[in-house]
Structure 1
Amino acid sequence: MAATIKDVAKMANVAPSTVSRVIANSSRISEKTKERVREAMNELGYHPNFNARSLANKSTKTIGIIMPNSAKIAFQNPFFPEVIRGISMKAYQEGYGLYLSTGQTEDEILQEVKNMVYGGRVDGILLLYSRINDKIMPFLIEEGFPFVLIGRPYKIDEDRVTFVNNDNFKAAKTVTEYLLLLGHERIGFIGGHLDYVVTIDHMKGYEQALTNVNIPIREEFIVHHEEVKEGGQNAIIELMSLVNRPTALVVSDDIMTFGVLRMLADMGVQVPHDMSIVSFNNVMISELSSPPMSTVDIHIYDLGFEATDCLINKIHHPTSGERKIIIPHRFIKRQTCNKQEERV
C-alpha cells in the first residue's frame, strides 16, 4: 500500500500540514525540519501527487519556456541549451517543472502560448527572445499573465515588462572601439535577422563607435543572415567579393563566427594576419576554434537563472512591480585580432 502524507508526518514527528509546507518548499519551515521530512519521504517511498495539489492550489508549479521558431532550430545554437541550464537550476531549486514550446511558426507559437495561459498549463512564462512586431508580449500584458523576457522589449514601455538582458549596445560599441584602436578602419558587421532586438542593438553599437571617430557607415559592410553557421559562410562570400574588403569583422554570434572562420580558411585568408574578428556569447566551444575566438562573454547561464528568479517572484508576488536587470558582460581577448599596421 502506498505511503500517505500522514505516514510521513508520523515518521518525521511533525504535523501533516508541515509535510505539505515542506513539499511546497515553504520558507516558514526550517532547513532542519525539511531535511527530516524529506528523509522520511525517501524512506517510505512517498511521492507527492502534484496534479492533485495543482487542482487544490490552482498552481501547476510549471514554467513555460518560449523559444524562437522551433526548438530544433534554436538548439543548433549553444546559447539556448546554456540559458535553459540556468533556468533549470533555479526552477529545480524552487520545485518547478518546465514546459517547452514546440511551435514552428510565429502563429503556432502564439497559439501555444494561448493554450498555456487559457488552459492553466503553466504559472508563468519565460520568453527567450525579443523581436520586432512581436505578438506574444502584448497578449501576455493584456491578459495580466506573469512573464519575464530575456532581452529588451521593443517599442513597449519598459515599466510594463520585467526583463533580464545584457547591454548589447555597449558591448558592440566596445568591441568595435577595440578594433579601431588596433588601427582598423574598414570594419564589417555580420548580424542575425533584423527582426531580433539583439541584432539591432549590436548594429547600433557598432555604428555609434564608427560615427564617434568620423568613419562613414558603409552599407555594403553590413550583412545579415538568419541562419547561424551557414549565415556566417554566406556573409563572408558577400564581404570578400567587395573591391575594398573589410580588414576586421564584428560578428554577432560565436557559431556564426565558426562559419566565418571556415570560409576564410577555404579562401586562404588567415585570421588574424589578414582579418581580425570579434564575436559574442563566449559559448563553451569558442575557445576551441582555430584560432581561439576573441568574444564577449554575456554570462548566458546567469541570464536564465536571474530571469527564472524574477518570474517565480512575480508568480508569488503579483503586485511587486516590474524589474529591469542588466547582466554584466566581459570582453575576452584571445587570438582572432591583430593590429592593422602589423599586417603585410
Structure 2
Amino acid sequence: MIVTIKDVAKRANVAPSTVSRVIANSPRISEQTKKRVREVMEELGYHPNFQARSLVAKSTQTIGVVMPNSAYYAFQNPFFPEVLRGISTSAHENKYGIYLSTGSDENEIFNEVVSMVQGRRVDGIVLLYSRINDKTMKFLHDSNFPFVVVGRPFENEERISFVDNDNIYITKQVTKYLIELGHRHIAFVGGSLHFVVTIDRLNGYKLALEEADIPFNEEYMVHEEYIKENGREAIRLLMSLDSPPTALVTQDDLIAYEMISHLEDMNVSVPNDISIISFNNLMLSEHSKPPLTSVDICIYQLGLEATNCLIEKMNKPDSLPKRITIPTKFIERKSCKKKK
C-alpha cells in the first residue's frame, strides 16, 4: 500500500500543507512540528515525491553530467572520478543532485541529452569533453539550454561558457623542456584528433618545434586509436624508425605507463635511452618506475569551477558566457634526462 501525504498529515494531526512545508524545510514551521511530522514519515515509510515537487517548482535540482563514452570505459580513466569529485562538491554545496549519462557512442550520447533537455530531467548540463563538429554541443547551444563545457569548444567559443587549461601553452612549454635537455627527435603519442584537447596540445608541440627550427615529422605522431588497437606494436614501429625518438610527449599518464611497460619489454630504458613527459599527474605517477614527469592539470578544480559556472548560469540565464582558465603545475620527476 502506497503511503500518501494525507496519511502522514492524519497520523501527525496536521494539515497536508503543513507536511509539504516540513518536506521543504520551511522556516514557518516550528522545530517541534517538524520533528513530529518527520517521525511519522519514518514510522509510515513515507518518501516524498521529489519529481512531482520539481514540476511545481519548475526545477529538478539536478545537474546532468555527460561523458565522452560510457561510464564503464570512462571510469577506467582516473580523470573522470576526479573531475566528478569536483562537480559533486559544488553540486552538494548548492543542493543539486547529479544525473550521469550512460551513452556509449556519439549517437547514444546525443539522444540521451535530447531526452534530458526535452524531458526536463535536469536543470543544466556539464559536458566533460569537447569534440570537433559535435552535434550534442550544437543542440544544447541552439536550444539555449544552460550548459558548460570542460574543454575549449571547437566552434562558437565566444558564445559558450567553458573551463579549460591553456593546452597550447603548456604543451609548448613541456616540449621546450625536452628540447632544452638536448632532444631533437620528440614524438607526440596518444590522443584522438576528434577531440579539441588533442588538437590544442598538438599545436603547442608543433609551435615548440618550430621555434627551435626542428621540422615536424609525421612519423613521430602516434594516435590513441592505434595505441588502443595494439600499443605494443605502435611503440615497436616508432622505435624501429631510422631515427627513433629520444623523447615522448604523451597525452596522459595512462598512455605513459603503457609506453614505459612496452619499452621495458624491448630493453629500452626510461630515462637513460628515452625520456617521457605526460599530463594529469595521477596519484600513481610519483610511484611509477621511474617516477613520471607530468603536468598537473588540476582535474578537481576543472570540475568544481565548471559546476559553479553552470549554477550561476542557471540562476542568471542572461549572464554572459565565461572562459575560465585553470592554471597547471609542472611536476618534474625522473622520467626525463639530459641527452648526451
**TM-score normalized by structure 2?**
0.87
Query: What is the correspondence of 1:333-344 to structure 2 with a 5 Å cutoff?
Result: 333-341=332-340
CA distance 1:228–1:240, shift in 2 (3 Å): closer
Q: Which residue of 1 aligns with 2:174?
A: 175
Deviations along 1:266-297, whole A, 9 cap, x unmatched?
00011000000100011112222111100000
Letter in 2 for 1:311: L
> What residue is the counterpart of 1:26 in the other structure?
none
Equivalence for 1:245: 244
Which residue in 2 is equivalent to 1:90? 90
| Unmatched tracts of structure 1, length 5 or more | 24-28
- Contact kept, 8 Å, 1:64 with 1:124, in 2: the verdict is yes
> Secondary structure, in 3 states, of the residue corresponding to 1:63?
strand
Paired positions, count: 327
The answer to whether the 8 Å contact 1:125/1:147 transfers is yes
Aligned to 2:216, the other structure's residue is in SS state: coil
Residue identity opposite 1:89 in structure 2? T
Query: Which residue of the partner structure matches residue 195 of structure 2?
Result: 196
Shift of 1:85: 1.2
Moved more, 295-304 or 70-79: 70-79
Cα distance change, pair 17–38 in 1 and its aligned pair in 2 (3 A): closer
Alpha carbons of structure 1 residues 231 and 155: separation in structure 2 relative to 1, 3 Å: farther
SS in 2 for 1:149: strand
Bigger Cα Rg: 2
Match of 1:273 in 2: 272
Contact 2:294 2:330 in 1 (8 A): yes
Cα distance, 1:177 vs structure 2: 0.5
Q: Quick one: which amino acid aligns to residue 178 of structure 2?
A: L
Q: 1:120 corresponds to which letter in structure 2?
A: R
SS of alignment partner, residue 237 of structure 1: helix
User: Helix, strand or coil: the match of 1:164?
Assistant: strand
Aligned residue for 2:305?
Answer: 306
| TM-score relative to the length of structure 1 | 0.86
Q: Structure 1 vs Structure 2: percent identity of aligned residues?
A: 53
Contact 1:232-1:257 at 8 Å conserved across structures: no
The whole-number CA distance in structure 1 between the counterparts of 2:263 and 2:316 is 52
What's the CA shift string for 1:70-103, capped at 9, x where partnerless? 2222222111111111111111111111111111
The aligned counterpart of 2:113 is 113
Q: Which residue of 2 aligns with 1:73?
A: 73
Q: Is the 8 A contact 2:227 2:234 kept in 1?
A: no
Q: Which residue of 1 aligns with 2:53?
A: 53
Do the aligned residues in 1 keep the contact of 2:226 with 2:234 (CA within 8 Å)? no
Residues of 1 paired with 2:34 and 2:201: CA distance? 48
The 1:307/1:227 distance shift into structure 2, 3 A limit, reads farther
The residue number in structure 2 matching 1:64 is 64
Task: Give unmatched runs, 5+ long, in structure 2.
Answer: none
CA distance in 1, matches of 2:244, 2:48: 64
Once the two structures are TM-superposed, the CA of residue 337 in structure 1 deviates from its matched residue by 0.4
Give, in angstroms, the shift of residue 49 of structure 1.
Answer: 3.9
Give the 3 Å change call, closer, same or farther, for CA 39–314 of structure 1 in structure 2: farther
Gap change, CA 1:316 and 1:137, over 3 Å in 2:
same
In structure 2, distance between residues paired with 1:336 and 1:39:
60
- Cα offset for 1:47? 6.3
Amino acid at match of 2:69: N
Give the secondary-structure state (helix, strand or coil) at the position aligned to 2:225: coil
* Shift in CA distance, 42/181, structure 1 to aligned 2, threshold 3 Å: farther
Tell me by how many angstroms 1:192 deviates. 1.1
Q: CA deviation at 1:230?
A: 6.4
SS at match of 2:278: strand
